[in-house]
A and B are shown apart, each in its own frame.
Chain A
Amino acid sequence: MTFHPFGDSALLINFEQKIDEVINARVIALAEAIEAAPILEATFITPAYCSLAVGYDPLKIGFEDFSKKIKSLTPTDPSHFATKKDRVLEIPVYYSEPHCLDMSEVMQQTGLLAPEIIEWHTSVEYRVYMMGFLPGFVYLGSLPKQIYCSRKTTPRLKVPAQSVGLAGQQTGIYPSEAPGGWQIIGRTPQKIFDSGKQNPFYFMTGDIVKFYAV
């Protein structure tokens, strides 16, 4: 772990720079430790794949002292790094017309037929590595190598809410209608973002997700 100033009111903690579930579990364990600890100066936390940004109030504390407080929390017990296997969320997906907007492009890129793409996409458990881009957008990884595919050259202006897409070695779900460049292969009926609820977010970072075709 390395600590870096990130502006004058946040710090960035970099873990080994790799997309890896054990490293991501460490990021989340530290994020949870910071949330659980009474660090009054902390203002926000943004966990990502292998880094964690933590905001502080610069009128109350400086970078060095804030870093020290966080270092003193660093979880040392390896059991804290376990993934949250208790949160396995099974998500139904319509991989059919009219929801699979980019299936033919994915077929071209991968050289596979639609049923094979669906088979690969539903064959593994994914980890919610982080949320970002839009409120509630989940970055899930990693895809089986067979269905890696690049983003669309020109992003679509409107991707429907709950569309399931592919980008590089990641898969993701759109929480609301938005412009976007991911290759859309289906859509889930499961609302993953509901602004009317007390907690609008269906997923948490660290959740395990398994897709099945309906």
Chain B
Amino acid sequence: MTKTTTFHFKKIGLLTQVQDMGRIGYQAFGVPVGGAMDKASAQTANWIVGNPPNNPVLEITLLGPQIEIKGNGQIAITGADLSPQIDGKSMPMFETVQVSSTSVLSFGKIKNGCRAYLAIRGDWIVKKWLGSCSASSNNSAGLTPDSNFQKGSILTVKTKLPIPKRTLPAEVCPVHSDLCKVRMVEGPEFEKFSARMVGFFFSRSYKVTPDSNRMGYRLNAEVVDFKPDREIISSATIPGTIQITNAGQPIILMADAQTTGGYLRLANVISADMDKLAQVKPGDEIWFSLVSLEEAGLAFSP
């Protein structure tokens, strides 16, 4: 008989969702890619409990939930340090943790980063849409009913035989600073911005505003002297695109971004820096720099 472990949401926190690596290949139909914002942290959490990299995880943003666990299982938390606790005692991150029935998982103070990832060993009983469990940003359509939570929601996981404990070596654990340096390559409309505007953009730091979310980060500054004669004819946008609105406000598109847009695309964040951008929280400082495509490619090497 298959055993299951259930996770009962006593408090849901600010934003707790099921995420995996998202749904790639449906952009032509207007479906955002979605998926975990910090993909490396999500995959690492799954590795620590012996799950495949695309297994679902809980993405926990800033204020964590309170979850009562019924049944035994192995869990791991990576990403932001939101002071995870089991039964009120500090829970170690980046290692396999055995939980048993009636354990209560909760979170406390935000120590660093923005998003924590909770992996649970086993097969999650979560309805998929277009091949992915990731919570859809188009919430009202009810596409992913099991991927968003309310008080009283229950997540069920079919447990597997436990694995020997895994611990992520300290030297590869990510460090989330409140100062984030992000590299970009020139975007499709880069040439439409004057040298003065580009100079202004890259010579200062930014904070993300509180209305930022998984669709995009709004930055707290306007580009000087920006008077676009018109919008572009709607064209593709991808996670990492920096678009400048007609009012001059830069927006970095993130995982749940729309697939098309009409604003000028100044630059794109390089793939290697998207995960750390996912850990920026409102109030943190971001600096941008421009790199070549070749340098962006080299950034993949560990």
Contact = CB atoms under 8 A, between A and B. Distances in A.
Please say whether chains A and B are actual partners in one complex. Answer: yes
Interface of A: 4-10, 12, 14, 17-19, 31, 43-53, 55, 58-59, 62-63, 130-137, 139, 158, 175-178, 193, 195, 200-201, 205
| Most chain B CB neighbours (cut-off 10 Å) among A45, A51, A132 | A132
B247 interface: no
Interface in B208-236: 232-236
B238 A53 contact: yes
Interface string B28-41: 11110100000000
The 3 A-B pairs with the shortest beta carbon distances in the complex, nearest first, are: A53-B236, A132-B260, A7-B268
Nearest to B27: A46
Contact of B30 (A8, A49, A50, A137): A137
A8 B268 contact: yes
A161 B289 CA distance: 43
6 contacts: A49-B233, A58-B297, A131-B259, A176-B141, A178-B140, A195-B129
B189 to A, nearest CB: 9
A59 B28 contact: no
B258 A45 contact: no
Contacts of B141: 135, 175-178, 193, 195
B188 interface: yes
A7 B238 contact: yes
A178 B138 contact: yes
A8 B297 contact: yes
B29 A51 contact: no
Given A6-B187, A59-B300, A50 B27 contact: no
A12 B24 contact: no
Contact of A7 (B27, B233, B270): B270
Contact of B268 (A6, A14, A31, A139): A6
A176 B138 contact: yes
A73 B233 CA distance: 25
| Most chain B CB neighbours (cut-off 10 Å) among A47, A50, A139, A195 | A195
A51 B30 contact: no
A136 B258 CA distance: 12
Contacts of A58: 271, 296-297, 300
B60 to A, nearest CB: 25
Nearest to B143: A195
A169 B135 CA distance: 33
Contacts of B142: 195
B84 interface: no
Contact of A47 (B28, B138, B241): B28
B260 A48 contact: yes
Nearest to A47: B28
B297 A10 contact: no
Contacts of A205: 28
Interface in B15-53: 24-31, 33
A63 B232 CA distance: 23
B250 interface: no
Contacts of B300: 58-59
Nearest to B241: A7
B24 to A, nearest CB: 6
Interface string B232-261: 111110101100000000000000001110
Contacts of B234: 48-49, 130, 132, 139
A10 B240 CA distance: 11
A52 B238 CA distance: 12
A40 to B, nearest CB: 14
Nearest to A176: B141
A17 B29 contact: no
A176 B140 contact: yes
Contacts of B185: 5, 7-8
B31 A135 contact: yes
A48 B25 contact: no
B186 interface: yes
Contact of B236 (A8, A12, A19, A136): A12
A131 B30 contact: yes
